[in-house]
Structure 1
Amino acid sequence: MNSKSKWLIYTVLVGLIPMFSRFLIWVVTTPGTVNIISSSDFIAFGLILHISNINEIEHFDSKDRDWKTRHNGFSIVFIAIYTVLFSLTMLSEGVSSINTSYIERCAIALSMVSFLLSFIVFDRITKLSSKEVA
């Protein structure tokens, strides 16, 4: 099994567990009880992707240290942003002046960007790994 397949199964599908769980709960509960979309699910997904990126990049033996440093830096910045969004999500439970729909849209957009960045990282690792084996 190549790195992309493992990434898809171990990282992406595991990262989507909160969304799958929420959907299942939404299906079996009374309408209006549970929201089908939650910013916290997308935040968790993004965090899992970036933590996985950092782990893979640190354990990948590459001579391109600039690339490794750059992508680890991107992941750290995204983790910091997700942390702020998650804090705002928790704070919004008691503060009515926080626009939760804006947080939700930001979390969804950021998780899409995170998915793309994570795919790029694992695509490069897969290609470099296959060159080393050949």
Structure 2
Amino acid sequence: MSNSQKAEGAFRTIGEVASATGVAPHVLRYWETRFPQLRPVTRAGNRRYYRPADVALVQRIQRLLGTEGYTVKGVQKLLASETRGGSAEPAAAAAPTPAGKSVPMGALLAIRDHLQDALNAY
């Protein structure tokens, strides 16, 4: 049965997730060792079945690592802070950067205002 024939909430095998996301199966297994939030259901023979939330997390990790320039350690810190329930508070106080460091929100707002003033001058 192909992905297109499965229901939206159906579990996916590691091969289906790999083909849907472009992340190789060995990389998915590696990420399971590095990101405790990524825990697919395992059945007999250690077969992995990814829930829709797991697939979404794989896509997010892939975007953070591949597109946004985060390191594995940076993504670990970001996901850990969200798991602790800190996703709303730190986002209001600071914005994460690809290096995993935080920039004070006030500094970002000052930069935004400066750029807006420059645009308005033209």
Normalised TM-score (structure 2): 0.32
| Bigger radius of gyration | 2
Highest relative contact order (Cα 8 Å, sep 6+), 1 or 2?
Answer: 1
More strand by share: 2
